[in-house]
């Protein structure tokens, strides 16, 4: 018996659909990605967190696709890059007409401790 049936009134409440473990930061960073066995291609990361990225890539990818990814950014006067294996976890099937790219979310699957540290320092610098 649901709450509606018990007291005759509909049950209303707040549902938190935000399930991210880490805060996201707006960015515009060049990325280089490679599917296993294929040539490297270029795209953009438009937001980033410790757990993953929102990417715009020139080709569609299926959920579960594994990519080797390099993300390029500056900290102070230094150019840095992090490398990681990522997995596509969601895909927006609509082509972004103004960008000419496909939008998708990826999570980090394999990333070195050094690159996690670089990413965290970079993300903290965005919130300062």
4: in domain:
no
Neighbours of 38 (CB within 10 A): 10
Average pLDDT along the chain, 128 residues, taken 10 residues at a time: 47 44 85 91 94 93 96 87 96 71 94 95 86
Give the Cα-Cα-Cα angle 39, 45, 49 (nearest 5 degrees): 120
| pTM of the model as a whole | 0.78
Helix%, strand%, coil% for the chain, nearest 5:
15, 50, 35
pLDDT, residue 17, reads: 40
CATH of the domain at 83: 2.40.10.220
Neighbours of 106 (CB within 10 A): 26
pLDDT, residue 20, reads: 52
28: in domain:
yes
Rounded to whole angstroms, how far apart are CA atoms 83 and 122? 14
7: in domain:
no
pLDDT, residue 94, reads: 72
115: in domain:
yes
How many domains is the chain built from? 1
Domain that holds residue 46: 23-127
pLDDT, residue 97, reads: 63
pLDDT, residue 6, reads: 47
């Amino acid at each position: 018996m649901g709450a509606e049936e018990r007291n005759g009134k509909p049950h209303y409440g707040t549902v938190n659909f935000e399930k991210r473990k880490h805060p996201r930061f707006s960015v515009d960073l060049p990325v280089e990605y490679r599917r296993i066995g294929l040539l490297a291609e270029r795209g953009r990361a438009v937001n980033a967190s410790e757990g993953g990225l929102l990417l715009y890539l020139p080709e569609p990818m299926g959920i579960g696709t594994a990519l080797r990814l390099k993300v390029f950014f500056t900290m102070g006067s230094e150019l840095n890059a992090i490398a990681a294996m990522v997995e596509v976890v969601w895909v927006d099937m609509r082509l972004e007409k103004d960008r000419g790219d496909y939008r998708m979310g990826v999570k980090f699957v394999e990333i070195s401790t050094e690159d996690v540290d670089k990413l965290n320092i970079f993300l903290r610098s965005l919130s300062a």
